[in-house]
Amino acid sequence: MKKLMICLVLCIPFLAGCWDNLSFRDLQVVTLIGIEGEKGNVTIHFSFPSQTDDQIEYLIAKAQGYSFADAKNEINVRTSEVIDISQLEVLLISEETAESNLIEYMDNLYRTPRNRLSSKVALIRGDMESFMTQTNPQGIGKNVPDFITHLLQTSDDYSMSTSHDIQKVGTLLFSEGKDLALPVLQIGEESGHPEIAGTALFKGKSATGTVLTTSQSKIMSIMEHNPGKFLRGTYEVEVDGKKDLITIEYVSGKKDWKIEGDKVRMSYDIDVEIEEFPIGPVLEKNRIEILEKQLSEQVTANMQDLLSVLQEAGSDPLGLGRTVRAFHPDLWKRGDWNETFSELDIKADAKIKIRRTGILN
């Protein structure tokens, strides 16, 4: 009996997990959060699934507070169950809010161990509430968080924008020599549901207000040497005196950055495959060389245009600063990297090589 009692007493600590037991029926699991406002007056929108009549509806609630954590606590005043953000799928932040120090709104998500670090992050353009509810449920279904997650994944797969989770955003916000770039969503005028609008550029911990188009984002992913699964582009070419369109897909590439004083020369050798070329066989009459030359010129021009936009915004999402910091200390120590980056003489040069022509010649 005595031994049994001792055993029972000693077993009590094995119930340690019971203190931290959280039952799903007591929680409102939030899968989508929207943040807008400014420090001192932050509004948080929460979207969470709720079972009604054998259907799952996505309900929304919003709360205001001095900070993200304050608003998160405030929401519990008006929900029947405790709001739980540990299963968050997507975090949306308004463009205006992102123009201040982003870490002020993300620290809670970044710091608390129960929170999911793999939640996707995107900026939104327009009214936050229109992203939380479905104005056009036929188009995207009722699961908005799931739709936005897949939309961001698709845009990353097709190199139309960047895709970062909370952890990566935190790392880039603190990173020296590389700036954050986040996808921007907007409600499509025709579709009425969220669409990719482009890629927002950051400078330090704040958004610059400059947004790249999806075409520029594709070029950025080549220059960053980090394209998604698919990267396709359509260009106008002139063959045999006729102008027509050619669509190419990125196959592989090499980058070579040479930094000498203030001069940066970025060379890219890019192998592509032809996706569409309605003029006819590519192999005829040395067409490959002609096409390669024209494509190289156009991609080089696109790269140069992108560099102008980046330098004007003072944002370095390519990570040139990382190479400079590591191997060119004189240039790095000149001052604030974003300022230095804007003043550099950067030239890009792309050499396109048609590696494959599809199953047609």
Partner 1 sequence: MKLHITSLQLFLMLFVAMTGTVFTSFQSQLVIAAGRDAWWLFLMQGLLIFPHLWLFNRYYQDFKWKGLIAFLYGIYWFFVMASFLGYIGYTLNVWAYPKTPTFVIMLLVVIVLFYLMMSRSETMVNIGVILIPMIILFMVFVYLGLKEAVWTNLFPLGETKFSDLQKGSLKAQMPFIGIELFLLLRTFVPGKVNSRKVMIYGGVWLLFFLQMLVMPLLFFSVEEFRLIPEPIMYMLKSQDVSFMERLDLLFIYIWLAWSFIAMGIYAFSILHLLPQKIRIRRSRNAALFCILLLAVGTQLDSKEAVRMSGQFLQYAHLVFAIALPFLVISGNRIFGKRRGEESA
- Binding footprint of partner 1 on the chain (CB under 8 A): 10, 12-14, 16-17, 19-20, 87, 111, 113, 116-118, 165, 167-168, 170-171, 174-177, 319, 322-323, 325-327, 329
| Shortest distance in whole angstroms from residue 176 CB to partner 1 | 6
* Residue 7 or 359 having the CB closest to partner 1: 7
| Shortest distance in whole angstroms from residue 351 CB to partner 1 | 25
SS3 content of the chain, % helix, strand, coil (to 5): 35, 35, 30
CA separation for the pair 175, 172 (Å, rounded): 5
| Shortest distance in whole angstroms from residue 274 CB to partner 1 | 30
Tell me the backbone φ, ψ of residue 285, rounded to 5 degrees: 45, 50
CA-to-CA dists, residue 62 to 49, 51, 57, 210, angstroms: 15, 19, 17, 28
* Residue 238 or 336 having the CB closest to partner 1: 336
CA separation for the pair 167, 110 (Å, rounded): 7
| Shortest distance in whole angstroms from residue 42 CB to partner 1 | 21
Q: Token digits for 177?
A: 């020599």
* Residue 16 or 359 having the CB closest to partner 1: 16
| Shortest distance in whole angstroms from residue 11 CB to partner 1 | 9
Query: In this structure, are residues 91 and 109 in contact, taking their beta carbons and an 8 Å threshold?
Result: yes
* Residue 6 or 360 having the CB closest to partner 1: 6
CA-closest candidate to residue 279, choices 327, 250, 240, 330? 240
Query: In this structure, are residues 212 and 199 in contact, taking their beta carbons and an 8 Å threshold?
Result: yes
The amino acid at residue 120 is K
Tell me the backbone φ, ψ of residue 21, rounded to 5 degrees: -65, 125
* Residue 76 or 304 having the CB closest to partner 1: 76
* Residue 170 or 227 having the CB closest to partner 1: 170
| Shortest distance in whole angstroms from residue 155 CB to partner 1 | 18
Task: Work out the number of other CB atoms within 10 angstroms of the CB of residue 116.
Answer: 15
Q: Token digits for 301?
A: 């021009």
